[in-house]
Amino acid sequence: MDFRTQVKTAESAIKISHSTTYLTAGSCFAENIAGKLRNYLFNGASNPHGIIYNPVSIALSLTETASGKKYTQEDLLENRGRWYSMNHHGFFSDRDPEKCLTKINSSIEQARSYLKNCNAAIITPGTAWAYIHRKTSSIAANCHKIPQHEFTKRMLTVSEISAALLSSIKKIREINSSISFIFTVSPVRHWRDGAHENQLSKSALFLAINDIIAGTSGTGYFPSYEILMDELRDYRFYERDMIHPSQSAIDYIWEKFCQSHMNPDSISIMKEIDQLRKFISHRPLDPDPESIRLHNERIDMKTDEFISRHPDIDTSILKQDRGNI
């Protein structure tokens, strides 16, 4: 007898491959997926405006990336000596407005180059709750530690969410008509909003995404939230904050994601990468110079063999890993 409820994840027609590029956008779970893709040497970009949780700000990020928006100092605000954009994560802020702009515009430019050749964009909203900046009347992607009284908090409606995301899809398809979109609701619970409020928020995301997929070709859904809530229904699958999924949960959801959305050739390549990484991380039993030299030669040989089989794959991350051992 199987003492758990398994979430079925059918094989999807939307595939991710080493031969094309990807883009992820959204919550910290989007970063988790992007980290896995980078680890397996896929070529792509993640969160051009930084980690963002609400879907309207995610949609704006995608739209501005597709259009190649150039930010100027007029787009920035200043608080306590730091310059920032209401549309970006705090990572982009800086005491020097020019440095802030350089980070913002470089990220957009790089992400746009990937977006033009993407076969799939993975969009992961985390919450339907949004903070409206009173001074600018705009939805903030990040509050930048500005006092709470300068914002109004409200839940985005289903129609607002679907309209914003559909608009970004339309804009992206102007520069890449063949791109597909994989939607998944972040399994991270926004507990500070309250238990009931978190459920209402996630429900709004589900309904909006369902409307988009029902009426838009080249879109699909992956049940990250459902896998953690229903299949991994145990606090051992959470970090110590009991909110974020643990590494073992992320690994399991990634496994399911690969079964559904990964090109078969890429799955074979991923297995090769796992084997190569294990060999790189191995230490000789005898740490004498000759043993180390021979081991390094074998690493070089195996790495060169991998490169010769897959000349189009960027292996620089493997070299970084080797340098960290």
The SS3 call for residue 179 is: coil
pLDDT at 169 over 80: yes
* pLDDT at position 323: 54
Predicted structure pTM score = 0.93
pLDDT digits (tens, 9 = 90+) for 110-146: 999 999 999 999 999 999 999 999 999 999 999 999 9
Q: Read off the pLDDT band of 1 (50, 70, 90).
A: low
* pLDDT at position 239: 93
Closest CA to 16 of 47, 37, 30, 32: 37
- Phi, psi for residue 65 in degrees, rounded to 5: -70, -45
Closest CA to 133 of 103, 105, 154: 154
Closest CA to 119 of 45, 182, 59, 178: 178
* pLDDT at position 192: 87
Q: Which of 15-19, 155-159, 199-203, 297-301 has the lowest mean pLDDT?
A: 297-301
Cα separation, 139 vs 127, in Å, equals 13
Q: Read off the pLDDT band of 197 (50, 70, 90).
A: very high
CB atoms under 10 Å from CB of 324, counted, come to 8
| Alpha helices (H) along the chain | 28-39, 55-67, 97-115, 158-175, 195-215, 224-226, 247-261, 264-281, 289-309, 316-324
CB atoms under 10 Å from CB of 58, counted, come to 26
User: Residues 6 or more apart from 310 whose CB is under 8 A from it?
Assistant: 18, 269
Q: Give, for 260, the enclosing helix (H) or strand (E).
A: helix 247-261
Residue 220 pairs with which residues in a beta bridge? 182
pLDDT digits (tens, 9 = 90+) for 9-66: 989 999 999 998 999 999 999 999 999 999 999 999 999 999 999 999 999 999 999 9
Helix 158-175, helix 97-115: angle, nearest 10: 70
> Mean pLDDT across the stretch 308-319?
86
Three-point CA angle 319, 324, 325, nearest 5°? 100
* pLDDT at position 296: 85
Cα separation, 249 vs 185, in Å, equals 15
The SS3 call for residue 65 is: helix
Residue 255 in tokens? 């496994």
Cα separation, 85 vs 73, in Å, equals 9
pLDDT at 325 over 50: no
